[in-house]
Amino acid sequence: MACLFGARLARLGGTVTLVGTWPEALQIIARDGIEVEEGDRRWRAVPAVERLGGALGPADLVLVLVKSHRTAAIAPRASAARGPAGRVLTLQNGLGNAEVLAAAAGPLHVDAGVTTAAAALLGPGRVRVSGLGRTHLAPSPGASWIAALLEGAGFPIEIAGDLRVVIWRKLAANCAINALSALRGVPNGALLESPVDRARLEGAAREVGAVAGAQGISLGADAAEIAVGVARATAWNPSSMLQDLERGAATEVDAINGAVVREGRRAGVPTPINEALWREVLAREARRPSEAPA
């Protein structure tokens, strides 16, 4: 996702710097830029690159797209990279990322959003876009100019009245699709072809809807229908969790299914399907050969 946003923002001009820890990717992007496959088009953009730990900022916008389990580690660096009037924006999956960033940068300087853009990393500096979807931003002092910036880069943007609804709707889809597709080793749409997989997908989504409802958040539709719709719309896309397992990286299952299990326990709502998926992915992670760079 960072390659997609970085490439599109770099085409606008100005200074865009991608920060990471994968030496091969940083070298290739610095030399050749990012190659983007989008439908039947291929295009390239050349942002600057910097290894995490290098000199960063001051930046008008620090866009955080790391995996959720890395948020606490990079939060101080994201805060330090922000210019005096700069903003820190998270478009990450799962729960709790904005709060972690706000603890480091201050809540008045952090913006939260949710994106339904879908992309697959094909290799160092290469990304295939399945769709740009829509990116929702929470109302804030910086939301208007951030929206204008991202719209200029081609992302459909909406400022949400209540971002919690958008977060939990995406969480319903992520909990239902990501872990199951990773465990089954199939793209999203294939989960709808098996009655057993589809039943598990719908059950996981409905548990998310029940936990959200216990917190007074209405998803506005049946959570299972939301998840099925996303699986259909992204049928050929391998979920990010599947991509993580395939490259030997830690997944975001703890901030997705695990977060729903924890919220369910606090609310007294049972979440047995999400708990089973959470534990199964963690067990699969424990067998991975190595930690892939970010």
Question: Which residue, among 106, 107, 135, 130, has the nearest Cα to 120 in the 3D structure?
Answer: 130
- Identify the domain boundary among 140, 159, 178: 159
Instruction: Say how many residues make up the chain.
Output: 294
Same domain? For 144 and 20 the reply is yes
pLDDT value of position 290? 54
Q: Determine the pLDDT at residue 53.
A: 83
Domain count within the chain? 2
- How are beta strands 118-123 and 126-131 bridged, if at all? antiparallel
Q: What is residue 89's predicted lDDT score, i.e. its pLDDT?
A: 98
Non-local (6+) Cβ contacts of 35 within 8 A are 42, 43, 44, 125, 126, 127
pLDDT tier for residue 293 given thresholds of 50, 70 and 90 = low
Residue 118: inside a domain, yes or no? yes
User: Do residues 109 and 145 share a domain?
Assistant: yes
Average pLDDT score, the chain: 93
> Does 67 lie in the same domain as 113?
yes
Q: Are residues 153 and 65 in the same domain?
A: yes
Q: What is the rounded CA–CA span in Å between residue 52 and residue 91?
A: 19
Which domain range does residue 277 map to? 163-286
What is the DSSP annotation of 10-51?
A: HTT-S--EEEES-HHHHHHHHHH-EEEEETTEEEEE--EEEE
Whether the predicted pLDDT of 177 surpasses 80: yes
Mean pLDDT in residue range 209-233: 96
Element at 196 (helix H, strand E)? helix 195-214
199 plus 269 within the same structural domain = yes
Same domain, 150 and 46: yes
- The CA-CA-CA angle for residues 94, 165, 117, to 5°, reads 55
Residue 292 has pLDDT above 70, yes or no: no
Asked if residue 293 is part of any domain, the answer here is no
pLDDT tens profile 89-128: 999 999 999 999 999 999 999 999 999 998 888 899 999 9
- Report which of 269, 277, 261 is spatially closest to residue 200, judged by C-alpha positions: 277
Residues 51 and 186 in one domain: no
Is the separation of the CB atoms in 226 and 219 below 8 Å?
Answer: yes
Q: Which of 142, 159, 176 is the last residue of a domain?
A: 159
**Catalytic pick among 170, 198, 200, 206:** 170
Q: Report the pLDDT value the prediction gives residue 156, as an integer from 0 to 100.
A: 96
Are residues 79 and 169 part of one domain?
A: no
- Does residue 47 belong to any structural domain of this protein? yes
The CATH number given to whatever domain includes residue 254 is: 1.10.1040.10
170 assigned to active site: yes
Is the same domain home to 61 and 124? yes
Asked if residue 243 and residue 178 are part of one domain, the reply reads: yes
Q: Which of 126, 159, 192 is the last residue of a domain?
A: 159
Collapsing DSSP states into helix, strand and coil, what is residue 72? helix
> In this structure, is residue 291 part of a structural domain?
no
Both 116 and 213 in one domain: the answer is no
Q: Output the pLDDT for position 131.
A: 84
pLDDT in tens, 60-81: 999 999 999 999 999 999 999 9
The pLDDT of residue 118 is: 84
Tens of pLDDT, residue by residue over 8-60, are: 999 988 899 999 988 999 999 999 999 999 989 999 999 999 998 877 879 99
Residues 125 and 225 in one domain: no
* Cα dihedral value 125, 127, 132, 134, nearest 10: -60
